[in-house]
Structure 1
């Protein structure tokens, strides 16, 4: 996998180049159920104006950079996209210098392999890209960190793809309380668990779903179910209950030091090699809100990035496979 870390303060030629590179594959995915299955541009923009008005100027600017086409604009709204599943484990180590740690388990052929740093309207944000401006995890310059896992339910409804919701939270919120309020009101098209940690050491996990109100919890651990297992076969395949129990044990009954806790994400049962099934662990991310630092880890490798770094760098990563 070729990973890139790219910085561009305001959307411009770098972002336009990335969109041109990724759009053919995303267009094929977005149209896989037929164009009529996706909302119209009018409906997409109306939904953004209603639920996330603060980022509409960014959306309009990106649509223009993408060429102003109807399909691209509808895709970039993230409104009612095709369903997609991931694995993932995430947890907050709640010591003196708290960190948010997560594994992202997904299909390597459908992943951006891209870390973006932006400075839109004075708010610096860095995180792991999805859909070229959405995020699956990230942090802003106020020290607010956020991450997602699939919620383990098959229900699909009217709402936004969760990566854009994470982008919105980091663009507009500075505290966990503000993030929780935003997550509770913005409709999400599938079930997801979103964990948030701020610089004041406050944290929540929000359980989002399109068919019921969001559940805001003080849980420090999230895997791939919500309160109880809903999709039994998926739970068995991804070992969501076993991973949750393992993390809870590490945080409570057998309290690990920070580094040992982080390293546990690079081994079974948290680390997955099910790449052929689309659920291998592509990376481990570590967010340190008070230090404005993130790390991307693989077995034997740590890539450290900060808000102050000079970006535009890359590295090749070999995905481990079972012995």
Structure 2
């Protein structure tokens, strides 16, 4: 059993200032050292990012993200080219992973399943000068593994496969772009159809009007459907599916069966977070263990969050934060049943 700390980062201001502040905090940290180690070209010979092409593409979809990368570069005292390679979310790689998502009348609940060594332990609240304010756990520093914005738009993703990658953005960068530029599920689905995708994922979007959509997205095509839940396979783009889908289908069948019995967001949270219920996973060595459970309530602009199984959710009012009330929270503590390393906590 490993203790996991999640640090809170709250910032109001420009993207450039935000990037610089993050860079100062990250410089010489265990997390930044780990990214430097795993992203060395000699260790990842196929991992190449054209900085000029990245700049042009990022500016086409979210220009202020480029300003954040410039600030991050300055704060880290790292070249812009290396910062783009490590943290832009453009043309990066992604290992196979899990994840399950369910929406109800007034909530979205999600398990983020991946390898512990990829976790950052950062929960970010950001109110930019340009773009919508957002809340959620970070991934690859500038990206988000899931989140909600000031309009109550929520998004999360589920891995499907990484075969035949395209020129485009990885999942957490796309999540960030949607949150900062879209107001509702319709706008989010439209952006997911336009943005270039690096890999194949299901994206689930949900808004304060109760509209849920699942977007099956690949480098070769995107399909939008009205559906309240998702795991790790496509229903329409079936030719894109992996061969080993038993657990994904098992979880989806369980979610379909349980959805009608759930009477509250708390019951949905328990379905996802209680190990005995069958959605929470401890397959950490297989890159499919649950790292956190998050629930978003768009009408209340509230977030529930927990790291590890069988935990009570920490409840955070994003609405209060948007009105200028800081959380004053430094860290949350959780526990994962694994012996795998957590590099962001270990030097």
- TM, length-normalised to structure 1: 0.89
Q: SS of 1:291's equivalent?
A: coil
User: 1:4 — aligned with what?
Assistant: 7
Residue 84, structure 1, aligned to residue 95, structure 2 = yes
Matching residue within 227, 247, 265 for 2:255: 247
Q: SS of 2:183's equivalent?
A: coil
- Change beyond 3 A, Cα 1:153–1:55: closer
Q: Which whole-Å deviations, capped at 9, do the CAs of 1:182-234 have from their partners, x for residues lacking one?
A: 11110111111111111121221111111x2211111111100111472123x
Matching residue within 218, 227, 234 for 2:226: 218
More deviation in 68-77 or 103-112?
68-77
Q: How many Å separate the matches in 2 of 1:312 and 1:16?
A: 20
Matching residue within 271, 275, 281 for 1:264: 271
Matching residue within 23, 46, 49 for 2:56: 46
Q: Is the 8 A contact 1:141 1:292 kept in 2?
A: yes
Number of matched residues?
A: 313
- Change beyond 3 A, Cα 1:40–1:300: closer
Shift of 1:249: 1.4
Q: Which whole-Å deviations, capped at 9, do the CAs of 1:136-164 have from their partners, x for residues lacking one?
A: 10011111111111024533221111111
Q: How many Å separate the matches in 2 of 1:57 and 1:314?
A: 28
Shift of 1:117: 0.5
Alignment of 1:99-178 (within 5 A): 99-121=107-129, 123-152=132-161, 154-178=163-187
User: 1:317 — aligned with what?
Assistant: 334
Shift of 1:93: 1.0
User: 2:68 — aligned with what?
Assistant: 58
Q: How many Å separate the matches in 2 of 1:104 and 1:250?
A: 19
Provide structure 1 residue ranges, at least 5 long, that are not aligned to the other structure. Answer: none
Q: Is the 8 A contact 2:72 2:83 kept in 1?
A: no
Q: Is the 8 A contact 1:154 1:231 kept in 2?
A: no
- Change beyond 3 A, Cα 1:311–1:179: farther
Q: Which whole-Å deviations, capped at 9, do the CAs of 1:78-125 have from their partners, x for residues lacking one?
A: 11112322200001012xxx1010001111121111110111115321
Q: SS of 1:65's equivalent?
A: helix
Q: Which whole-Å deviations, capped at 9, do the CAs of 1:47-104 have from their partners, x for residues lacking one?
A: 212333353333333333332502113322211112322200001012xxx1010001
- Change beyond 3 A, Cα 1:222–1:57: same
User: 1:67 — aligned with what?
Assistant: 77
Shift of 1:35: 5.6
Q: Is the 8 A contact 1:151 1:207 kept in 2?
A: no
- Change beyond 3 A, Cα 1:36–1:205: closer
- TM, length-normalised to structure 2: 0.84
Q: Which whole-Å deviations, capped at 9, do the CAs of 1:284-307 have from their partners, x for residues lacking one?
A: 100011111111134133211222
Q: How many Å separate the matches in 2 of 1:310 and 1:256?
A: 30
